[in-house]
Amino acid sequence: MSRYRVVALVELTGACQTRCAFCARDARASTARPMTETTFLTVLRRLRPRDVRHAELAGFGEPLLHPRIEVLLGHVAGHAVPFRLCTNGEQLDRRKLGAIDGVLERVIVPLTAADEALAARLQPGLDHERVLENLRHAARMRRTRLEVAVPALPECLDALPDTVARLRALGVRHVGVSTHVHVHGGALDAPTRTLESAREIARRRDLPDSGLDRVPPLGEILESWRTARCRCVPRNASLLIDTQGRFHDCFQDAVHEHVLGHVDLMTLREAVEERERRDAPWSLCETCALRDGFGPGELALALRDRDAGDLPGRRGVG
């Protein structure tokens, strides 16, 4: 039996106000109904600290658009597994912040740019003024950490100095670059800068790579290599649970084709073990930029940078 843990990605809804340039949400059918409260409670029962490093309310949809989000957040309170939220920030108003502060360990907002025109192009339909205003309030949370992750798209990297300065002025202390979000199994055109060069830009600016948070400790990587047929680190490090309560082979599967089973019928550990018996989902891997993003050299750098990112005094993490 395997002993490594995963990051559980819990998708609450397929709805979203925007179509970010780095998201493959368009690739999937938009008919999926939001996760029911009953399914969510079953998911919570399946998440045990020995199997899950942390859980993220995330996926191919905006979690705060779930019609009963405040009720679901109430269920999360006191859970043994730390929870995070990935949100575009438009619905992160003071009322939601009241339900979040102290309940979630972290809120992560992927922001393309502070510049209105650029943000409107890369996240069309999103009310950016409102997002920035919400960030100002969210930065004052006392018990939940706010983190803004700038996706490593070329335009976002060019605008990075301005974005960081504007975020600092709003009181946001934790700003990083995410090299993880702009590659989704090939549904997006190939990024015009490689993963490596994006990481290099982040390093030069002394900003942490937010995507590295999902890189497990070395011992758990070795354990997953011992037990799983497929050695892809990003795939084995996380487990997507969709709005219908189905476990998925790889979080890059925007179309939700590669299903392992359902939370009603199997535990999370059983889903991990089912995945260990499977080969890589090759139809996705062919065009996935992460495929070459975690070779031995990159992995060594990722582990080094992730640990360095936790050191106090590193500017990106406050």
In three-state secondary structure terms, 312 is coil
Cβ closest to ligand SF4, residue 127 vs residue 314: 127
Task: Give whichever of 279 and 310 is closer to ligand SF4, judged by the CB atom.
Answer: 279
The dihedral of CA 16, 19, 22, 27: what is its sign? positive
Identity of the residue, 128 or 235, whose beta carbon is nearer to ligand SF4 in the bound complex: 235
* Between 55 and 85, CB nearer to ligand SF4: 85
Q: How far is the CB of 134 from ligand SF4 (least distance, A)?
A: 13
Give alpha helix (H) positions in the chain.
37-46, 69-76, 94-100, 116-122, 128-138, 154-158, 160-169, 195-204, 218-227, 233-237, 268-276, 282-285, 296-309
**Tokens encoding 34:** 């939001």
The nearest distance, CB 312 to ligand SF4, in angstroms, is: 30
**Least CB distance to ligand SF4 at residue 65 (A):** 9
Please report how close the Cβ of residue 60 comes to ligand SF4 at its closest, in angstroms.
Answer: 6
Cβ burial of 188 (10 Å; 0-12, 13-18, 19+) is buried
Query: With respect to ligand SF4, which residue has the nearer C-beta, 67 or 102?
Result: 67
How far apart are the C-alpha atoms of 193 and 37, rounded to whole Å?
Answer: 41
User: Between residues 20 and 69, which has the closer beta carbon with respect to ligand SF4?
Assistant: 20
Q: Give the nearest distance from C-beta 264 to ligand SF4 in angstroms.
A: 25
Query: Which residues face 240 on adjacent strands?
Result: 9, 248
Q: How far is the CB of 97 from ligand SF4 (least distance, A)?
A: 18
- From 145, 119, 115, 114, select the one nearest 22 (Cα to Cα): 119
Q: SS3 for 283? A: helix
Q: How far apart are CA 309 and CA 13, in angstroms?
A: 31
In the complex, what is the shortest distance from the CB of residue 111 to ligand SF4, in angstroms, rounded to a whole number?
A: 10
Nearer to ligand SF4, 31 or 313 (CB): 31
What is the spatial distance between Cα 69 and Cα 228, in angstroms, rounded to a whole number? Answer: 35
Looking at beta carbons only, is 42 or 244 nearer to ligand SF4?
244
Contacts of 84 (CB under 8 A, 6+ apart): 54, 55, 56, 57, 58, 104, 105, 106, 107, 108
In angstroms, the CA 34 to CA 68 distance is: 9
Nearer to ligand SF4, 51 or 56 (CB): 56
- 165 alpha carbon, distance to own chain's centre: 24
Q: What is the dihedral of CA 269, 149, 126, 155, to 10 degrees?
A: -130
Query: At closest approach, how far in Å is the CB of 204 from ligand SF4?
Result: 25
Q: Least distance in Å: CB of 290 to ligand SF4?
A: 4
Q: Are 122 and 153 in contact (CB under 8 A)?
A: yes
Binding site for ligand SF4 (CB under 6 A): 16, 18-20, 23, 25, 60-62, 88, 185, 232, 234-235, 250, 252, 280-281, 284-285, 288, 290-291
